[in-house]
Amino acid sequence: MEFRLAVKEDFKQYLITKKGFFEDYGISEKSKEFILKEFNKLLSKGAIILAVENSVVGYLAGEIEDSSYERVGYISEVFVTREYRNKGISTKLKDKFLEFLRKKKIKICRLEVSLHNPAKEVYSKWGFKIDKYRMSLHL
């Protein structure tokens, strides 16, 4: 299996895998144009790491966020197709993204996860810790 940075030519395969993400997580599917815009933004501001075995079987989408105070890496999405889960692929995707961030001299990587998402356990195993709370008010 190959773990590498995505390039523009990977969009068709990424799109197929992204549709699996929408199905698995019950998210309404976005248009091809919306996903292409998101894909290009990630290629310019961060990275999409692909797990490839004849086709894309997983991806990690991450960006570099700049603020007045700091420059950090941010993992926005990790997805592995059902038949490839529980094989360490998401960990390898994360490792490849952290390698990308280190090359860019980024010292912090963050992600957000909801309170009830079982992925919290995986992120804890990866070494992520709660460092602040995000609060919301539904109107």
pLDDT digits (tens, 9 = 90+) for 46-87: 999 999 999 999 999 999 998 888 899 999 999 999 999 999
**137: in domain:** no
Q: What is the mean pLDDT of the chain?
A: 92
Q: How confident is the model at residue 117 (pLDDT cuts 50, 70, 90)?
A: confident
- Residues 34 and 11: their CA atoms lie apart, in Å, by 12
- Give the residue numbers spanning the domain of 120: 2-125
Q: How far is CA 31 from CA 19, 35, 63, 64, 84, in A?
A: 10, 6, 21, 25, 26
Instruction: Please check whether residue 81 lies inside any domain of the structure.
Output: yes
Q: What is the pTM of this model?
A: 0.89
**Residue 39 domain-assigned?**
yes
